[in-house]
Chain A
């Protein structure tokens, strides 16, 4: 009698099964394929058998198990992450310890070599200036514009939001070309316009200060709409009653923002800022197309310098070494994001 047998099987399996589950020696998801969640699985198996009294084979039984199905469903994802993300990440650690011809192990030689180079410290400094300044301005502009969009009547919000998000939609490589043309030394449309106000031609990409200013400006232009959309969604989730109560208590607009809007949006602001910090810090396209690191390597970020050293000068180990310096700050940001995201998950 198949249904009864399967139930007996479940009873017999369960104690053994739990013992296996709780054992700390756990290698991979493979293990649970055979063992865990037996009660649920067998329940499902029983239902199937009730529907179809024909006795199923062992293989078929195993294939029907929830854990087996789950394993096969996630297998491509696991393979992709393991082979094309995790493996290269550790491979770059290994690469960073080789000499230029990749024939000899040099330990931390590449790292000490970098520490002695002035360009490296300039890249560190410029990456930090670039990321922090750009993220602060993106967050500020996003916050301000989100309030303006939130202020206007609901029907028109859609149109404005659609218009203001355009920089985020255009592929950054394409829009940076437009900026490059706007900054052009001899035909700059900006300098043409500024000349009417008596402001002399500005060397947008030719001088260190202006080149740094320009790459940050383009990054702010590209990233601010993302903040705008996130903040707008957050603003809409703040209940109106809070503002009404504050208005009755005589709060001015500043107090409303400080005591209601900011605390209510705290989490989304944190996540968006940290996320943007990662993306900005690892930015490549904008600097590569606008300045290629120049003038005199003063606008290089980790990514563009790693590209120049590792691919263009084909010193792969040194390039890998340069890009590895991004890891600490990325890791810190990632940890905080993870904390905030899971907090949000618990709130919901």
Chain B
């Protein structure tokens, strides 16, 4: 009799405790997620808060976490300043050209490396991946010297010109984009391009009509990557460009808005927020592609 009661009670009690555990685990998860979200979002939120303050309010040292007299004067000032617009324009044109150059180089190369097994193709693919691991801080000094030497030799001004960055940035974007495009292309079923070739398509037609449309998500992920990398690059423009009209946004904000010891923090934060806006907007709309590109880097295909 007693055993029967226990048998009946056992499972229900266990189930109840488990769902209670679940509920608590969920509550704790939310609690810690909120804590971490505060940690992760404090700097951008603080940027926004400061950007809405006038310099009088900042120097009055009131509660830094609150805006008592919100004003858009920092935004108006920066967006009407020719200098800042020049930085924005330089950054935009460089990033867009770099994205185009990157795609023109890496898509054909990835196609060849994924589909045409030729002598050395495996080595080249490995080499591309290794190139991706070479950081910019290893190459900026020899590149600087190389540019100076080419400039002396040919008489073409390369240093202190924004367009030289268009040639340098692809070293950062092309290896990664090629690598993830190899993965995306390799995942396309072989039957698809075999069918195209049997129908008389050339290699170029196979690439344009089959591979690019099918691997479009990968292409978007690679494009986003190339854009954000060239938008955020700080070391190369800091080394290669110095004149105010040749600077890109990150370097421009850090070098021109900080004048000696005078920090105009309202404008600096506004500039930083505006500089962070394009990648953030792209991320807000294309988050899934962004994350796909991020996780594809460490995996083969």
* CB atoms of B37 and A160 under 8 A apart: yes
Q: CA of A24 to CA of B33 in the docked complex: distance in angstroms?
A: 58
> In the complex, how many angstroms separate the beta carbon of A289 from the nearest chain B beta carbon?
6
B23-42 to A contact mask, C-beta < 8 Å, 1/0: 00110011011001101111
Q: Which residues of A from 84 to 108 have beta carbons under 8 Å from B? A: 84-85, 87-89, 91-92, 95
> In the complex, how many angstroms separate the beta carbon of A165 from the nearest chain B beta carbon?
7
Q: Which residues of A from 18 to 64 have beta carbons under 8 Å from B? A: 21, 26, 28-29, 31-32, 36-37, 44, 47-48, 51, 64
* CB atoms of A344 and B126 under 8 A apart: no
Query: Residue on B with the closest CB to A186?
Result: B61
Task: Determine whether A345 belongs to the interface, using a CB cutoff of 8 Å to chain B.
Answer: yes
Task: Determine whether A66 belongs to the interface, using a CB cutoff of 8 Å to chain B.
Answer: yes
Task: Determine whether A149 belongs to the interface, using a CB cutoff of 8 Å to chain B.
Answer: yes
* CB atoms of B130 and A338 under 8 A apart: yes
Out of A70, A89, A319, name the residue touching B134 (CB < 8 Å): A89
Task: Determine whether B10 belongs to the interface, using a CB cutoff of 8 Å to chain A.
Answer: no
* CB atoms of B133 and A145 under 8 A apart: no
**Count the B residues whose beta carbon is within 8 Å of the partner chain — how many?**
103
Q: CA of A171 to CA of B43 in the docked complex: distance in angstroms?
A: 12
* CB atoms of B137 and A302 under 8 A apart: yes
Out of A28, A168, A229, name the residue touching B295 (CB < 8 Å): A229
* CB atoms of B228 and A169 under 8 A apart: yes
Q: CA of A221 to CA of B44 in the docked complex: distance in angstroms?
A: 12
Task: Determine whether B253 belongs to the interface, using a CB cutoff of 8 Å to chain A.
Answer: yes
Q: Give the chain B neighbours of A221 by CB distance below 8 A.
A: 39-40, 43
Q: Which residues of A from 191 to 227 have beta carbons under 8 Å from B? A: 192-193, 221, 224-226
Task: Determine whether A76 belongs to the interface, using a CB cutoff of 8 Å to chain B.
Answer: yes
* CB atoms of B197 and A44 under 8 A apart: yes
* CB atoms of B133 and A181 under 8 A apart: no
A250-278 to B contact mask, C-beta < 8 Å, 1/0: 00000000000000000010011001001
* CB atoms of A37 and B118 under 8 A apart: yes
Q: CA of A47 to CA of B275 in the docked complex: distance in angstroms?
A: 54
Task: Determine whether B243 belongs to the interface, using a CB cutoff of 8 Å to chain A.
Answer: no
Task: Determine whether A10 belongs to the interface, using a CB cutoff of 8 Å to chain B.
Answer: no
Taking Cβ atoms with an 8 Å cutoff, the residues of A that contact B are 21, 26, 28-29, 31-32, 36-37, 44, 47-48, 51, 64, 66-67, 69-71, 73-74, 76-78, 80-81, 84-85, 87-89, 91-92, 95, 141, 144-145, 147-149, 151-152, 158, 160-175, 177-179, 181-182, 184, 186-187, 189, 192-193, 221, 224-226, 229-230, 233, 268, 271-272, 275, 278-279, 282-285, 288-289, 302-303, 306-307, 310-311, 316, 319-320, 323-324, 326-327, 330, 333-334, 337-338, 341-342, 344-345, 348
**What 5 new A-B contacts, CB under 8 Å, besides A76-B104, A170-B44, A319-B141?**
A69-B116, A81-B131, A165-B287, A189-B65, A334-B133
13 A/B residue pairs, CB under 8 Å, sorted by A: A69-B112, A70-B116, A80-B170, A85-B171, A95-B145, A160-B33, A162-B287, A177-B47, A178-B44, A184-B265, A187-B61, A311-B141, A337-B133
The 4 closest A-B pairs by CB, nearest first: A303-B137, A171-B232, A282-B135, A32-B119
